[in-house]
Each structure stands twice: as C-alpha cells, then as structure tokens.
Structure 1
Amino acid sequence: MTDTTTRKKQQARAPVASPWADAPARAEQREAKRDAVLSTAAQLFNERGFHATSLDDIAARLHVSKPTLYYYVKNKDEILLQCVRRGLTMTLEGIEASRQAGGKAIDQLQACMRVYARIVTMDFGMCLIRVGDEQVPADSRKELRRLKSSIDQEFRRLVAEGVKEGSVAECDPKMTAFVIAGALSWIGRWYQPGGEYSADEVAEKCIATLLAGVLRHPAPMLVP
C-alpha cells in the first residue's frame, strides 16, 4: 500500500469527538437552561405567588421532570433568591448606565425613573416587587435589602442635586425619593402585558404625572 493511499484512508475516517472539546458550549447550554428555569419560575411567582407555586409547576411549564430541575437549582428558596437578585441587579446596572451617560441631575433622574419603571414590568423586576424580600431565605435578606437601599440612595442623590441645580422644587430628598420609588414600584403590582398601554407608555405616563404633579397650575396673573 502506498503512502498516498494510507493518507487518503486516514483522512476519510471520521475524527473521534473529544468529550472535552465542547466544554464551553456545554457550559453555555447549562446556563441557558438555568436561565429558563429562573425565568419560568419568576413568571409563575408573579402569576400565583411564591407559596402557591411548586417545583412541580415549574417543571410542568418547562416540560421537564422535577428531578431535572435539581441539575440547575437546589430548591425553591434558591430560585426565589436568584430571581429577586436578578431584578435588583438589572435595576442597579440600568441606573449606573444612566448616571454614566451624564447630563444634568434632572436628566439623570428621569433616565433612572425610566429604567426602574421599565424593569418592574419585566419578569424578574416584577418578581422583585410582587414577592416581598421577607420570603427570601433569612441569610440572604440582608444582602437584598442592601441592594434595595442602593437604589433608594441613588434617587435621593439625584433629587438633592436637582434641587441644587434648580430643576427640582425644594423638598426633602428622602421623602421625595420614597414617593418616586414607591409609585414606580407599584407598576409591577398592577401592570399586565397586552393591556391598553405598552410597558414603555405606562412608564412615560407615570413619570410625567410624578414630575408634573396632579394639580392644575393656574395661569400667571398679568400685572396691569
């Protein structure tokens, strides 16, 4: 047999697949499946409540067996913790991006309000609002409350800077920040996809009301 014939036969053989060659792909697939578990769980928590949702419910909606879930999560408490943490992280990252964009305090404040209002209409953000952090495992509650406090502090800072630059009326920044965050958070309680307004329209209308107030401002009196 010639060397040329031997080489052709070797080239024709299918290469042996290495079980380690696709490790990054397997890791990505596992993460994608874990994300699907968390997203589905967040949807069910929002629809039924945390206590009324079981691992069987989550598995059924994903069309997998309950034991399959344990490849990606430890238990229902961990699922809730990760859902709430993701909602908080999304909010903080969005607020930070708004701050990095620069501009006047009032511009940054409005951008942060849009971020917050939009996220609470998403699965993880809605879960953050609809499922209280008292339902999160006790050892994680402190961390989540610290993250929530970071959101509050950012709103306070922007309100105070807005007062200083003259774009926001004189007020108690702490109280005003509570009102803003409280009003926008409540969107996550009552918003339903497919309603009269889209999520963006809801956000804009609520923000416009908060910024303008509800009282009609009288026209200025003309001085004769």
Structure 2
Amino acid sequence: MIADQLGMHKATLYHYIDSKESVLYQCLVMSFGDLDDVITKTEDRSVPVLQRLRLFCRSLAMAQNSDFGRCLVLVGSRPLDQEPSGEIRKFQRRLDATVRALVTEGIADGSIKPCDPALVSAMLFGALNWVPRWYSEQGKLGIEDIVNAFIDMLTLGIATSKR
C-alpha cells in the first residue's frame, strides 16, 4: 500500500527500508520520541507529583492517539520484538518505571494513598492503550476531553486530601 501511494514498485520501496517492521518501528519513533523529554520533566521534584503524573498521562495519550502512535497500539509490539535489540520492550519498561516511580514518590510524600504502584501502572496503561481502539474523531468527545477525564479519574482515585 505504501509503494502504491508513492507510485513505485514494492522492490523499489524495499531498497529504502528493510522490512514492514522497520516502517512500524519508525512510526513508533516518530510518535513517541517526545516522551523522553516528558520523562525527564517527571523527575522535577519542584513540581507536585500528581501534576507530573498528569503531564505524563496526557503526553502518552496524545502520542498513542496520533496517526503513527495508533499503529503501534493497534498492531501491538509483537512484530517489533526483534527490532533494534529489543528497544520497544526497553521503552515500555521505562514508561512503566516512570509511572511506578511517580506513584511511589506520591505515597512517600503523602499526596497519594498507599497502593500498589504496579497495579496503578497496569490500570493506567490498560485504560490508555484501549483509547485508539474505540476513539472516533466524529464522536462527541475529543481526545483531550477523554484524556482529561481519564486522568481526573485516576488522580482523584489515588490522591489523598493532602494533594
């Protein structure tokens, strides 16, 4: 389909790319590349932890629901397990570690109720990973509305009154 869109033969296209997986991997890089900066911002302890968690969630959701981000979420990472030395899995573990660290920090400073950071992370990614499957631009809610509602439900559910 890509070759057809570009008006070239498949063989010509494969001269420039290694495989379909390479295209998918580049989609991931284009969509999620900004998250490295966001992860760095989540380490700024001068900003309240729940605010940093909201920033992370919003950035992740926007990346997942971009044209390229949807590719990874809808196809899944399995085709990319062998792409450059497991970079996808490393990236996913880094995202998970970021959420767990924020929740752990919030529990320690009293702004988050005692809970299992791994479960909070699983819930967060489980919810956000499904949005590209059912979201429609023609729906009554925009992606920002959905993301804000999800983040509110998450942060209000785990926050203490201290926030």
TM-score under structure 2 normalisation?
Answer: 0.82
In 2, Cα distance between the equivalents of 1:127 and 1:93?
22
Query: Paired residue for 2:8, among 65, 84, 89?
Result: 65
Residues 179-201 of structure 1, C-alpha deviations (whole Å, 9 max, x = no match): 11221122122222232111211
Which of 45, 53, 57 is 1:109 aligned to?
53
Structure 2 residue aligned with 1:13: none
Task: Name the structure 2 match of 1:174.
Answer: 118
In structure 1, what is the Cα distance between the partners aligned to 2:134 and 2:84?
27
Q: TM-score, normalised by structure 1?
A: 0.61
Match of 2:133 in 1: 189
1:120-150 CA-to-partner distances (Å, cap 9, x unmatched) read 1102221221122111262536221011100
Residue of structure 2 equivalent to 1:121:
65
Contact 1:88 1:128 (8 Å CA) reproduced: no
Identity across the alignment (%): 29
Which of these two proteins has the greater Rg computed from alpha carbons?
1
Which of residues 152, 165, 187 in structure 1 aligns to 2:96?
A: 152
CA positional deviation for 1:101:
8.6
Structure 1: give runs of 5+ residues left out of the alignment.
1-56, 214-224
Residue 68 of structure 1: how far off its partner (Å): 5.0
Partner of 2:105: 161
For each residue in 1:100-120, what CA deviation from the matched residue of structure 2 results, as whole angstroms up to 9, or x when unmatched?
594011111111111111111
Q: Report the number of matched residues.
A: 156
Counterpart amino acid of 2:134? W
Residues 142-197 of structure 1: per-residue CA shift (max 9 Å, x gap): 22101110000000000111111111111011111111122112212222223211
Q: Distance in 1 between matches of 2:142 and 2:45?
A: 25
Corresponding residue SS for 2:33: helix
Q: 1:79 to 1:202 in 2, by over 3 A?
A: same
* 1:40-91, Cα deviation, whole Å (9 max, x unpaired): xxxxxxxxxxxxxxxxx113334x2135534642332211222233334333
Q: In structure 1, what is the Cα distance between the partners aligned to 2:137 and 2:117?
A: 32
